[in-house]
Structure 1
């Protein structure tokens, strides 16, 4: 059995990897904001490159493992803290804990549900379905994205999930810094600013993608 410290370190490392992956995923998906014809071909070419690159495949397996381990570790910690009456992460610095720090388990569950829906709509169909091909012979993931983001209820779920992700990231990055022993009083303000800025920019950026497509796609 893993010790409490080991569980926190596992949560920290998998969480930081997932946060870094979000940045890479975000940068790749910025192509969706290009003019529609350019976005169509460029996004499909990008997706085709990722699907056929052996290094990306290895990273994808690490990603799947990180999601599973992060979720399981979060579940174990949440259940344990519920039994002991503790918060998700105890704060011994005399500050009142934020509502999102007390509800990381709920936020994490909402994000996990969203991931299942998201993977089913895009990853599963792209890998195991029969999507059409674009004019270059690549699987037309762009058309699939347009079709899904034309559904108002999915856009709403997506945006609300990004709100949950934002708060999850804010607290997660803050906790990871403490777990790694980087919580130095001299730099804590800057760590906090960077963590919040990253969380807000990534979450708003992702949320704008379905909104943009919903209102602009023909």
Structure 2
């Protein structure tokens, strides 16, 4: 019976679309501060990552609400996947910058973004590592980077099984693992002079979303652009 269900699930999966549901929301918190900004540094993202083998070992990790900080999963899978999470953090930093630069070709913005390589070199010279970033104050980041505002990104990726394998696992285990697949991202703009959170953006993809840093960065810029505070008014 299990073999029959598995075969049926695999067959059905061939006809299901590989799409993802999405939701997003931006919020401007301090408009007066945003109007004074001229330079922005994008920091390496904080990344939470959960894969199928993590769930098999200890069950699914509960996610926090997408409008709360921090988002990142903090238990076993993060410690086990530290190198991969770190690499994704730097990739998302670079790809978000690239997506913003492509967008501003046709939609000018009022600020200049510091090159990520320059940002990372400045952090290194100041003795600020990827691991220690969350412990540093906005004043320390301002001194190291010389910018008016920093963009902090946090992404949680839950990749259980792609496509047919996920459906088969759903049938065989009677669990809702496929529905738990998703990517949640929070982007926060902090004024480095005052330390205030001045703008935030929450983004979620659920179902079978791509977790490619390029695809995610493009989706973030596309969905946040209407509410992005630095878009020049015509």
Q: Taking structure 1 as the reference length, what is the TM-score of the superposition?
A: 0.29
Q: Taking structure 2 as the reference length, what is the TM-score of the superposition?
A: 0.27
Larger relative contact order (Cα-Cα within 8 Å, sequence gap ≥ 6): 2
Greater per-residue strand proportion: 2
Greater per-residue helix proportion: 1
